[in-house]
């Protein structure tokens, strides 16, 4: 089981909700399931993605699992508050699922594989619970896809701290670019990967605020103490890195990040 690099704080729960709201249209707009579909969401966390999936697909039934009981409670509460009743939440281990082989039509995975020590094994297990002819959708980021203008070695170093800390927890924040070989290697067929690049400049103030500041920079800032404790960076360099990331949100700055969305068939 992976260790979640971003932690489980209230701030983090808010960051995830902000992130999901801003990204929902970009990442989920094309995710529609036929009426009556049985969908398994792996690693649903606090339900940040689930709420959009359940709302956009009212005639599908979602089974959502996560390793964290606390996250599951929050997810259930969130969906209840939204008045959505087409999802159930369970604690489960992605490497040892309590579901029968072939019992789901679709599997949805978002921001999970990056935190796992053995993503290919997890995909093999998820493939097993998928019905023949069923399909999987996987959405992951890739922190190595980030770049901005003006360029800043200090900003790169701060982002590298996040990449390194996630790697030390046996995660892989560069996994987006690897979805194709991972899906092919775990037995799926017809893997198709679509990059979902987020490009931000001053003409897109919603993305400047919702993505660059409140999603990406907030995520990097979240590992400050850990990065300093681990001796990966000194505080002055860290502060310069964060300041330079914020610099890219100015009138003449730009920011780029790419998510990868993959689909594949059993």
Does 26 sit near a copy of itself (CB under 8 A)? Answer: no
User: Which listed residue (151, 205, 230, 234) binds a copy of itself by CB under 8 A?
Assistant: 151
Burial of 9 (0-12, 13-18, 19+ CB in 10 A): exposed
In 29-186 the beta strands, taken as DSSP E runs, fall at 38-42, 61-66, 87-91, 104-110, 130-140, 147-149
User: Which listed residue (3, 82, 202, 243) binds a copy of itself by CB under 8 A?
Assistant: 202
User: Which listed residue (7, 58, 153, 181) binds a copy of itself by CB under 8 A?
Assistant: 181
How far apart, in whole angstroms, are the C-alpha atoms of residue 90 and residue 66? 7
User: Which listed residue (37, 118, 164, 180) binds a copy of itself by CB under 8 A?
Assistant: 180
Least Å from the CB of residue 154 to a copy of itself: 16
- Which residue stretch of 38-46, 55-63, 118-126, 251-259 sits at the interface with a copy of itself (rule: CB under 8 A)? 251-259
Q: How far is CA 56 from CA 22, 80, 234, in A?
A: 15, 16, 45
Does 249 sit near a copy of itself (CB under 8 A)? Answer: no
Nearer to a copy of itself, 47 or 253 (CB): 253
User: Which listed residue (79, 107, 136, 191) binds a copy of itself by CB under 8 A?
Assistant: 191
Residues 6+ apart with CB under 8 A from 184: 191
H or E element at residue 77: helix 69-81
Least Å from the CB of residue 172 to a copy of itself: 11
The number of beta carbons lying within 10 Å of the beta carbon of residue 222 is: 18
Residues at the site binding a copy of itself, with contacts judged by CB under 8 A: 142, 144-145, 147-149, 151, 174, 177-178, 180-181, 184-185, 191-195, 197, 199, 201-203, 251-254, 256, 258, 260
């Amino acid at each position: 089981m992976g260790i979640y690099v971003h932690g489980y704080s209230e701030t983090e729960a808010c960051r995830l909700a902000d992130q999901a709201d801003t990204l929902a249209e970009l990442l989920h707009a094309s995710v529609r399931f036929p009426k009556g579909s049985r969908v398994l969401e792996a690693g649903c966390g606090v339900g940040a993605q689930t709420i959009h999936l359940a709302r956009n697909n009212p005639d599908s039934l979602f089974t959502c699992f996560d390793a964290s009981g606390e996250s599951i409670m929050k997810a259930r509460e969130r969906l209840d508050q939204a008045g959505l009743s087409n999802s159930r939440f369970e604690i489960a281990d992605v490497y040892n699922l309590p579901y029968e082989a072939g019992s789901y039509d679709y599997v949805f995975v978002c921001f999970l594989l990056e935190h796992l020590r053995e993503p290919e094994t997890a995909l093999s297990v998820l493939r097993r619970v998928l019905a023949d002819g069923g399909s999987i959708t996987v959405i992951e980021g890739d922190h190595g896809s980030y770049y901005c203008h003006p360029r800043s070695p200090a900003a790169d170093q701060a982002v590298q701290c996040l990449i390194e800390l996630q790697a030390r927890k046996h995660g892989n924040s560069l996994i987006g670019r690897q979805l194709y070989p991972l899906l092919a290697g775990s037995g799926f067929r017809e893997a198709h990967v679509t990059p979902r690049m987020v490009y931000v400049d001053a003409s897109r103030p919603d993305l400047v605020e919702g993505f660059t500041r409140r999603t990406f920079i907030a995520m990097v800032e979240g590992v400050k103490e850990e990065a300093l404790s681990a001796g990966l960076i000194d505080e002055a360099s860290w502060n310069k890195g964060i300041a330079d990331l914020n610099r890219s949100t100015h009138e003449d700055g730009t920011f780029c990040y790419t998510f990868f969305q993959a689909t594949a068939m059993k």
